[in-house]
Structure 1
Amino acid sequence: MAIATLIRDLRTARGWSQGRLAGAVNEVFGTGLDREYVSRWERGKVVPGPYYLRCLSAVLDVPLAVLEGEVNRRTFLSDAAATAIAPVVASDLLHAGFAARLRGGPDVEEWEAKLATYGTQYMSMGAADIQRRISGELVAVQQQLEEPRLWSVAARLMTLYAKTFPGSDGAKAVGWYRMAAMAADRSGDEATRVWVRGRAAIALGYEGASLGVADMLADQAMAISERPSLGLLNAVMGKAHAAALRGDEGTARALLEQGRDVFDRAGSSEQTSDYAVPWWRMNVFVSLLAARLGDEDAAVAAQEASVRELPAELPRFATHLEMHRGLMLARSGDKAGGVAHARAALDALPPEKHSLTLRLLMGEVEGGVKG
């Protein structure tokens, strides 16, 4: 996606005109930007220089790294291999890639089975473990992308891979989410196109990171299809969290009701997969959203509903709920008590079960995350 298209999509995700974007830049930075110059950016007639890229990063709430450069598919192999710590691991990744090319690799059904396994493992494994495993799969599937259905596999793997990086790191998480969306488009599969964008939106919205990108991807998912689906549900709830963090309570509450309606028609019976949104997980989304909105009654109700059905083998999500209670305390004025409660919950979880999302949530309770 060219920088011109990205600027336009981020602007429209905010509901801004070109003049409104120019005005926002001028208001914050005192520049003389006008609507016509924004139009020239979006038509690809002019490429914003480093100064204006920083201005756009600030007013559109998107990491500068995303605006500074596109993730090129040709760097896919080296990017994946570069995540390895030891040279021997990089060697294994390269071997897996060439082996897949020479032998043909798994067929689509085998890849779908792998995806199902990773969806389950993601719910209980630490970020480092799942990242190492999926990086090898990404290198392998890259060699098989002649078939459109394998673009769908790659898109969903990229989405899980992105989730192992903090959303505030635009050079990693956001870049991979955007490349996953492009891969989904190559698959031609509507459900994948919606799910990948929705999953990215709820991840970023829940983390409170890169809200401009969360809105953009949510809007794209909702525009692709209005059919009730888990992808649409994730998109709506991600956009609701972004609105709550910006202080737009009315929009957040309206989106919550829309999300509940979608859940009623598309919620999952599967309990322990990242590809699923069962009743307990929907209430995890609602719990944090209500805490961010200062609605203690709704937050407590969601927490209690979630705890009743939360599978015992998923202690990380029980930690999420306790940290939401800490956020409520902090938001109500008892910051010390809220931080202590959240820290105790996080410390009670074995370190190997920690996720980057939990660390970002701790930052929000402590007041270190913009909200």
Structure 2
Amino acid sequence: MSQQSSDPCASSAIGRTIVELRRAVGWSQTRLADEFSKVSGQPCTRQDVSRWECGKRTPRLRTLRALAAALQVPVQILEWSAVHRRTFVTDIAATAIAPVVASDLVLNGFEAALTTSAPDIDQWRETLTAYGHDYMSMGAADIRRRLTSDLVLLQRQADRPELWGIAAKLMTLYAKTFPGSDGVKAVSWYRMAARAADRSEDTDTRVWVRGRAAIALGYEGAALRVADQLAAEALALDDRPSLGRLNAVMGRAHVAAIRGDRRTAVALADEGHRIHDRVGSHEQASDYAVPHWRRNVDLSMLLARLGEERGAVEAQEVARRELPPELPRFATHLEMHRGLMMARAGDQAGGARYARAALDKLPPEKHSLSLRMLLDEIQRGAGAT
């Protein structure tokens, strides 16, 4: 079932991936062993799982396939990866997929090339739309696991501009599953998404991807120089009102607020208001849309950072009235903004307690990285970067 590693004490990248996937579904090692046995028809114990995870044994290819089936993830998550490629699979390998022997990767690559039919662009459009909806309510770990597999598949098929546009938007969403504060993973993916968008040859896509990255980083208060740069690129590409331009403007507003440039932040917020009046979305629950309620969630955060309590409270009240009930994560954002305002007003301990209580009411599987980073911001002192 498995072969002995040449160094039984060596750490194992594939073992770390097994651990992450097992924990993502909330299983113990014993539960994974039981599920593996059901799928493979072979006996498996908790000790077997422990040896795989700690790198004392390296699973064979057939074992990896049974593990993937047990964990209900595509086998590529465990098989594909580890060879350094000159495509965005390199970045997936560095962040989400474990390495296996090169011969298995080559074998699977040729098998895919021989059996994969021409890409169905309509199907990819539907996939993109589904992810836009799912992101609004699913946790970061679940989104990342699913997207990893789809990005590997799309990488093989991206042979025309429209597919590069779809890939760029999916990569932007994938980047959001990593905290921008780590300085590497999220930023690398946002930059890769911008390059993919350029291959789409579509100006709207190029602007949207950069603007979405800018506001994501700005809202998180992370990688501010990169947020400002991507926003500037978006604004330089096209001066027409669009959701991409709106996101770029508001991303810059957050950067200015965090840096203490109140005048610029307010001016940019006013510009964002004018743009939204022209291009605001009717779609209510998609990461690719900016309806009125979502605009007010963002405005609430910005004004809380600026210490504009009255304006922030007004934005929160508007957002609460219009917020779809199936999106409780955003209601948590609004509650935590109140904690941020308390901290800005001088009650840092009280603000942190209020924000923590609001986050604790949301089921952990619904948490987003933005919420966790917002709590960190409140706890260390509002506006600190």
1:315 has 2:302 as partner: no
Within the candidate set 281, 294, 300, 1:281 is matched to 294
- Check the 8 A contact 1:119/1:274 in 2, yes or no: yes
Q: State how far apart, in whole Å, the 1-side matches of 2:307 and 2:105 are.
A: 47
User: Secondary structure, in 3 states, of the residue corresponding to 2:181?
Assistant: coil
SS where residue 124 of structure 1 aligns? coil
Partner of 1:370: 384
Deviation (angstroms), 1:145: 2.0
Query: Counterpart of 2:384 in structure 1: which amino acid?
Result: K
The correspondence of residues 319-334 of structure 1 with structure 2, limited to 5 A, is: 319-334=332-347
Indicate if the aligned counterparts of 1:100 and 1:144 stay in contact, CA closer than 8 A: no
Equivalence for 1:108: 121
Residues 193, 98 of structure 1: alpha-carbon distance in 2 compared, 3 angstrom cutoff: farther
The structural deviation recorded for 1:163 is: 0.3
**2:308 pairs with 1:295:** yes
CA drift at 1:100: 5.5
Q: How many pairs are equivalent?
A: 299
How many Å apart are 1:94 and its aligned residue?
9.2
My pick for the range that moved more, 78-87 or 342-351, is 78-87
The 8 Å contact of residues 147 and 174 in structure 2, kept in 1 or not, is answered as yes
Residue 83 (structure 1) shift: 3.9
Paired with 1:87 and 1:121, the residues of 2 have a C-alpha distance of: 29
The DSSP-based 3-state class of the residue aligned with 1:74 is coil
- TM-score after normalising by structure 2: 0.74
Determine whether 1:74 maps to 2:86: yes
Structure 2 CA distance, aligned partners of 1:98 and 1:313?
43
CA contact (8 A) 1:94 1:139 kept: no
Kept in 2: contact 1:229–1:262 (CA 8 A): yes
Quick one: percent identity of the two aligned structures? 66
Instruction: Answer whether contact 1:81 1:93 (CA < 8 A) is retained.
Output: no
Whole-Å separation in 1 of the counterparts to 2:187 and 2:249: 18
One-letter amino acid matched to 2:91: D
Cα offset for 1:81?
Answer: 4.0
Matched, 1:249 2:249: no
Structure 1's 345 and 120: CA in aligned 2 closer, same or farther, altered over 3 A?
same
Equivalent runs, 1:171-320 vs 2, <5 Å: 171-320=184-333
Deviation by residue 1:197-223 (Cα, 9 ceiling, x = unmatched) = 000000000000001000100011011
1:97 and 1:140 in contact (8 A); partners too? no
| Aligned partner letter, 1:306 | A
In the alignment, structure 1 segments of 5+ residues that lack a partner are 1-71
Q: Which runs of 4+ in 1 moved over 2 A?
A: 81-88, 91-102, 368-371
Amino acid paired to 1:120? H
Specify whether residues 245 and 133 from structure 1 end up closer, same or farther in structure 2 by C-alpha distance, changes over 3 A only.
same
Alignment deviations for residues 275-332 of structure 1 (CA, whole Å, 9 cap, x no partner):
0000000001100000000000000000000000101111110000000000000110
Structure 2: segments with no counterpart, 5+ residues: 1-83
Aligned residues of 1:96 and 1:140 also touching (Cα < 8 A): no
What is the distance in 1 between the residues matched to 2:205 and 2:104? Answer: 29
Larger RCO: Structure 1 or Structure 2 (Cα < 8 Å, ≥ 6 residues apart)? 1
Q: Is the Cα–Cα contact under 8 Å of residues 338 and 365 in structure 1 kept in the other structure?
A: yes
TM-score normalized by the length of structure 1 = 0.76
Residue in structure 2 matched with residue 150 of structure 1 by the alignment: 163
Query: In 1, are the aligned partners of 2:93 and 2:99 still within 8 Å (CA)?
Result: no
Q: Indicate the RMSD between aligned Cα atoms, in angstroms.
A: 2.3
Name the amino acid aligned to 2:235: M
Kept after mapping to 2: 8 A contact 1:100/1:140: no
Structure 2 CA distance for aligned equivalents of residues 314 and 253 of structure 1 = 28
